Structure 1
Amino acid sequence: MTGFALLTDTQHATTSEPTTPPDLRERFYGLLPELLASDPRAVALLADIGAGYIEAPAAVADRVINLGIREQLLVSAAGGLALAGMRPVVHTFAPFLVERPYEQLKLDLGHQGVGAVLVSAGGSYDMAGAGETHFGPRDVPLLDTLEGWTVHVPGHADEAEAQLRAALPGDDRVYLRLSGASNARPYGTGPSMTVLRRGSRGTVVAVGPLADRTLAAVEGLDVTVLYAPTVRPFDTATVRATLSEPDVVLVEPYLAGTSVRPVAEALRDVRHRVLGLGVGAAELRRYGSPDDHDAAHGLDVAGIRRSVTRFLS
């Protein structure tokens, strides 16, 4: 079979697992000066977030521009620079990068027909103590309302680096979603899904940093597990090629049900069922920790197992 990667038992056995996976956001900050030096078109745009962590040498310091807490201007400036032939890399927390400047994403990038690389931080609720203002579970579904976006949701710093390096030379619109959560090792960079294991009772698609806990949750269950570090475009070919029973569970780290539509379109000629797990739409008004939010949304190991078991039975 072609079009997707299969993670073999040998790969499991020979891949070392670090005690603490590398932090995706720290990797981005460390990598950015190198990327700017390697591409004279590249320019980094910040809205205060990250400004104190990026150590840019003098040769590229003029291409690290901090616009302050002006997120609409952040995206508008990216559109202008892209029209001038530059390749903007735009960074801040997810809700400030997608929700607040949504109109600028629509007009200054999309309508103008230019691209940028948007790199968010904070995932859905990494900064749990900051409350609703810093929660970003609506970013991917919002981008779904706009055309032409590639959306990466890496589950490991190595994946994020590879996706960023691949995105920089282009002129398209790319969103790279970074989270504090991480898998113990990289599983693949996409765009094709990786087959983590095979089963006959259904398919579970684990997105980005939720792969390890999904594998733990379905331990002993007779299901296929696919890993998706890229969700737009959605790899419908692998879902179809590996399908056993037409029952599909999506485990996504943003708004629940976000990828139900592309799965339904992929299986439109097959009677099927789809369950979309993810962050619920209801606002949780107790801050807690990211682990508390995972448990409340059923995205911890116990919650995922409970939902998958009920759905398949």
Structure 2
Amino acid sequence: MSAAGGVPDARSRFYAELDPVLVANPDAVLVLAVIGAGYVGDTIARRPGQVVDVGIREQAMIGVAGGLALAGRRPIVHTFASFLVERAYEQVKLDLGHQDVGALLVSAGASYDVSSGGRTHQAPGDVALISALPGWTVHVPGHGDEVAEILHREAARSGRVYVRLSGQRNAKPQPVDGRVHLVRDVASGGQAGASSAPLVLAVGPMLDVVLEATRDLPVRVAYTGTPHPLDTAGLRDLAGPTPVLAVVEPYLAGTSAAAVAAALADRPSRVLHVGVPRDAELRRYGTPRDHAAAHGLDAAGVRRQVKALLGGAAWPARIGA
């Protein structure tokens, strides 16, 4: 893990912030299942009473977190998304949700960051799964500074929070207040937030891709790093009375569809959801860049889909279409 072009890497920033977070929050306990332990050896040595490594037992990791929370501690649980959410989903549902206790789950790997590890290490459905459970907040930061702010803030709270770290990142940090923010208005100007031009909502690390993809298109670009619960009031304010909207998410296409539909239920709207397609599975290794291109989540793919929306056409959300 390293920063490219001086931009902080989200996972590296998470590891760097752990020690000060544990110092500031003596009730916090880092819970691992081997993955990540090699990056926080100094923290483990300095604060052995605040780190638990359960071994390669992800379901047990969530059970331990639930027990710690019941005992008044603040568990910070970390591994790859496919193991943290998918493999341990029943424990997340029961040991945390059903018992109504809080935890801060922090994943790495995103949808296909570890594409060389094969399908076992890919988790495009993680945010959809967490969003299906009551009482959770999901943060998808797009920059290392956002990771740091979220980690320090949520470690001091008691809620159920999922933070999704990705190797993809934006050049600049954005606000992490849970709101939908207008980042770029249409090139012709106009009152920010009051335009009726089509809107493209970028989630987390998709912002720079969206800005590049739409650089000369007559659309506004907005950002949120907190897709769940979605800032529906902010979305409504920006969308206008007859919205033409594209939502670009770095995971399963349509993950935010229900929230967006509810927010715009009283308005005639045309909405496109761009993400990892639901109706096909890429059974190849390749690089994360290869996967982004195959799924239409690189700048060229996003551009094609947004242009189709602007032209009134339906873009086929499937690999190779």
Is the TM-score greater than 0.5? yes
Alpha-carbon distance in 2 for matches of 1:237, 1:39: 33
Alpha-carbon distance in 2 for matches of 1:90, 1:256: 26
Q: What pairs with 1:143-154 in structure 2 (closer than 5 Å)?
A: 143-154=130-141
Cα separation, partners in 2 of 1:57 and 1:99, compared to 1, 3 Å: closer
1:225 aligns with 2:212: no
Alpha-carbon distance in 1 for matches of 2:206, 2:105: 21
| Other-structure match for 2:319 | none
| Other-structure match for 1:275 | 272
| Other-structure match for 2:247 | 250
Deviates more, 1:111-120 or 1:213-222: 213-222
The Cα shift of 1:57 comes to 6.1
CA contact (8 A) 1:260 1:275 kept: no
The Cα shift of 1:190 comes to 2.6
Query: What amino acid does structure 1 have at the position aligned with 2:223?
Result: Y
1:174 aligns with 2:161: yes
CA contact (8 A) 1:124 1:253 kept: yes
Alpha-carbon distance in 1 for matches of 2:129, 2:303: 28
| Other-structure match for 1:74 | 61
SS in 2 for 1:158: helix
| Other-structure match for 1:30 | 16
| Other-structure match for 2:231 | 235
The Cα shift of 1:252 comes to 0.2
* TM-score normalised by structure 2 residue count: 0.90
Query: What amino acid does structure 2 have at the position aligned with 1:246?
Result: P
The Cα shift of 1:193 comes to 1.7
Query: What amino acid does structure 2 have at the position aligned with 1:301?
Result: A
CA contact (8 A) 1:37 1:59 kept: no
Deviates more, 1:83-92 or 1:198-207: 198-207
1:46 aligns with 2:32: yes
Where does the alignment leave 5 or more consecutive residues of structure 1 unmatched? Answer: 1-17
Query: What amino acid does structure 1 have at the position aligned with 2:273?
Result: G
Alpha-carbon distance in 2 for matches of 1:146, 1:58: 35
Alpha-carbon distance in 2 for matches of 1:283, 1:225: 29
The Cα shift of 1:163 comes to 0.8
**Residue among 301, 304, 308 paired with 1:303:** 301
**Residue among 177, 180, 184 paired with 2:171:** 184
| Other-structure match for 1:9 | none
Alpha-carbon distance in 2 for matches of 1:105, 1:273: 35
| Other-structure match for 1:4 | none
Q: What pairs with 1:113-152 in structure 2 (closer than 5 Å)?
A: 113-152=100-139
Deviations 1:128-169 (A, max 9, x none): 111100001110000121001010000000001101111011
SS in 2 for 1:65: strand
* TM-score normalised by structure 1 residue count: 0.92
Alpha-carbon distance in 1 for matches of 2:292, 2:215: 19
Identity %: 53
How many correspondences in the alignment? 296
Deviations 1:156-187 (A, max 9, x none): 00001101111011111000000000001102
CA contact (8 A) 2:22 2:50 kept: yes
| Other-structure match for 1:6 | none
Alpha-carbon distance in 2 for matches of 1:310, 1:201: 15
Deviations 1:244-273 (A, max 9, x none): 441110100000110111110001100112
Query: What amino acid does structure 2 have at the position aligned with 1:253?
Result: P
Deviates more, 1:195-204 or 1:214-223: 195-204
CA contact (8 A) 1:201 1:312 kept: no
The Cα shift of 1:58 comes to 4.5
